[in-house]
Amino acid sequence: MTVDARRVAVLVSGRGSNLKALIDRASGYEIALAASNKPQAQALDVARAAGLPTWTLDSRGVDRELFEDMLTRSLEDHRVGTIALAGYMRLLSPDFIAQWRGRIVNIHPSLLPKYRGLKTHERALAAGEGATGCTVHVVTEELDSGKILAQTTVAIEPGDDIAALSERVLMAEHALYPATLAEFVER
């Protein structure tokens, strides 16, 4: 079966604002599936409202291998060629990443390699940074460490708190992710 890189699955666990941006600004790619490890994720409502196919399985208590086997089946059913992580909070196994090597991307709310992992805005503020931002990168076995595809810098203003800063970075994410994904699927 031929796999089309432009058929994208978006993996989500939460709110889904990046999924919404990827849907609204889709050009050069199409969202073939929204998949979640959290059946109650708001992001799934975003997908359903857009009329997109969804797949979900509660990952709590499910063996990782079984979970990923079921996910893989759904990705294959929907002829997915590229995976975009958008607030996906479950670690992917090295086997899964190897199977999709070079075809999974993620958006991270910092200027990588700074602030890998969680609480990025809190840490950037605590460090007194003058700027932070967001990064789209290729996913590898090492957390938030794969090849950087694109970044946007966002200034930290005096008086910024976590909420204000995350809101501004999120706006930048919503512009950066669709544009970068469109380029990535053409590579």
Catalytic residues: 108
DSSP code of residue 38: -
Residue from 129, 144, 160, 173 in contact with ligand GRF (CB under 6 A):
173
132 binds ligand GRF (CB under 6 A): no
Least separation, in Å, of the C-beta of 99 and ligand GRF? 22
Of 139, 144, 136, the C-alpha closest to 182 is 136
137 binds ligand GRF (CB under 6 A): no
Stretch that binds ligand GRF, among 14-22, 23-31, 61-69, 147-155 (CB under 6 A): 14-22
Residue whose CB is less far from ligand GRF, 3 or 153? 153
87 binds ligand GRF (CB under 6 A): yes
Longest alpha-carbon distance in the chain: 54
Bond into 178 cis (ω within 30): no
Of 20, 184, 186, the C-alpha closest to 106 is 184
Phi and psi at 154, nearest 5°, equal: -125, 125
18 binds ligand GRF (CB under 6 A): yes
Which tokens sit at 49?
A: 């409202």
Given the rule CB under 6 A, which residues bind ligand GRF?
Answer: 14-18, 43, 86-87, 107-109, 170, 173
